Amino acid sequence: WRDDVRLYTVTLASSPNSYHIRNNLGTVYWKQGRIDAAEQEWRKALDLSPHNVIFLNNLGLVFSQRKQYADATAYFLRAMRYKPNYTDSHLNLGNVYEELGQHGDAELQFRAAVALSPLKVDARNKLAKLYWDSGRLPEAEEQFRRSVASEPNWTAYAGLGDIYVRRNDGARAEQSYRRALELQPYESRVRFSLGSLYASTGRLAEAIREYQAGLETDPANPEARARLEKLKSDVQKTPNP
């Protein structure tokens, strides 16, 4: 088979009522960014299996992507009505509430997702980020720590680095950012955070190196570029020993 679309399309020609194949085809379209085509397949799959929580959740994602939050919420709630312990719908509904600024409702959904799937790092990280945004640093740290204990991931290590910067604990912040970059070397945000940390402690050459590395993957970032130019200027002004 040339590709998955061809495989699933040919299969559906002989088995048009296979809702699993329609779901798979919709997923391929979704990953390709073909949102309308994905929606069409997931709707057909749902017609064939009306209580299927995966299809309901997927359609919720379609409307979330389009920022049609009322429709997205309706699909996620339908999925939870048929399967209250379906983690993904809690997590995705939490994302909708967060987008709408309903942080209390978002927290309830993220907490539910964590309770249902304690090892799911996406849920831990979303809850941790919500705590971070609201200034609840001890709770954010706990969730990020539990996240990396479940599975080492750059998002949680970067979050821990941010917490340690806020606490003026430069050594632990550097260690956390370094661990994040081991897992995701091309994440520009972490490069810029580490560069800022180095600059704040006078390690200008290392700061420049991190900003340059970050700009390789985020070249249009005006703040980072301005910061890099300032660092280069500061190095030139520094008298030689």
Per residue in 53-112, pLDDT tens? 999 999 999 999 999 999 999 999 999 999 999 999 999 999 999 999 999 999 999 999
What does the pLDDT read at residue 236? Answer: 86
Contact 188, 217 (CB under 8 A): yes
What does the pLDDT read at residue 240? Answer: 59
The share of the chain scoring above pLDDT 90, in percent, equals 87
What does the pLDDT read at residue 214? Answer: 97
What does the pLDDT read at residue 1? Answer: 45
Structure tokens at 129: 């980020």
Query: Mean of the pLDDT values across residues 153-182?
Result: 98
What does the pLDDT read at residue 184? Answer: 97
Q: What is the CA radius of gyration of the chain?
A: 22
Burial bucket for residue 9 (CB in 10 Å: 0-12, 13-18, 19+): middle
Q: What is the pTM of this model?
A: 0.89
What does the pLDDT read at residue 8? Answer: 78
Q: Is the pLDDT of residue 241 over 60?
A: no
Calpha distance 234→204 (Å, rounded): 8
Tens of pLDDT, residues 13-41: 888 888 888 889 999 999 999 999 999 99
What does the pLDDT read at residue 239? Answer: 66
Which has the higher per-residue pLDDT, 10 or 83? 83
From the CB of residue 139, how many other CB atoms can be counted at a distance below 10 Å?
15
In whole angstroms, how far apart are CA 31 and each of 52, 118, 184, 207?
21, 26, 21, 36
What does the pLDDT read at residue 225? Answer: 97
What does the pLDDT read at residue 9? Answer: 82
What does the pLDDT read at residue 19? Answer: 84
What does the pLDDT read at residue 194? Answer: 98
Calpha distance 44→47 (Å, rounded): 5
Q: Is the pLDDT of residue 51 over 50?
A: yes
Q: Is the pLDDT of residue 224 over 50?
A: yes
Burial bucket for residue 175 (CB in 10 Å: 0-12, 13-18, 19+): middle
